[in-house]
């Protein structure tokens, strides 16, 4: 089971931690696909925040764990994190036995 915990700095999203990815030797093909989708989305969000927007972040990537926390997130970075959370919540709606989403701020439209 992939678990994604979002963190908030006050009421705004500021990061996430992903754990419990499927290993390559797992027999759960759906789990592998969900893990690949989560990883791809997380890396795109992290790279967009740091390389495109230019916000600084603390990252930690280890076997089956990815931690990402934006230091003083800009409005643009918060929007990227909100988009990631929404995307993963919708994925969880389809594959609830493979992914669970926890924490973070509620998505607020302007």
Is residue 110 included in any domain, yes or no?
Answer: no
- Counted domains in the chain: 1
Quick check: is 13 in a domain? yes
- Rounded CA separation 80/53 (Å): 10
pLDDT value of residue 63: 79
| pLDDT value, residue 57 | 98
Q: Which residues contact 88 (CB under 8 A, 6 or more apart)?
A: 4, 38, 41, 99, 101
User: Is residue 32 in some structural domain?
Assistant: yes
Whether the CB-CB separation of 39 and 20 falls below 8 Å is answered with no
Query: How would you write the pLDDT of the chain (110 residues) with one tens digit per residue?
Result: 899 999 998 889 999 999 987 655 567 788 888 988 999 999 999 999 999 999 999 999 987 899 999 999 999 999 999 999 999 999 999 998 889 999 876 554 54
Domain containing 20 — which CATH number?
3.30.70.1490
Query: Which domain range does residue 48 map to?
Result: 2-103
pTM for this model (two decimals): 0.88
How far is Cα 58 from Cα 95, in angstroms, rounded to an integer?
29
Let me know if residue 50 belongs to a domain: yes
Residue 108 covered by a domain = no
């Amino acid at each position: 089971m992939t678990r994604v915990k979002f963190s908030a700095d006050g009421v705004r999203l500021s990061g996430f931690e992903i754990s419990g990815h499927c290993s390559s030797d797992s027999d759960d093909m759906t789990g592998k696909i969900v893990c690949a989708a989560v990883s791809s989305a997380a890396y795109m969000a992290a790279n967009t925040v740091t390389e495109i927007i230019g916000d600084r972040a603390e990252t930690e990537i280890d076997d089956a764990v990815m931690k990402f926390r934006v230091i003083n997130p800009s409005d643009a970075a918060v929007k990227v994190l909100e988009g990631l959370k929404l995307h993963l919540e919708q994925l969880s709606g389809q594959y609830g036995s493979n992914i669970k989403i926890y924490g973070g701020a509620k998505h607020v439209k302007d």
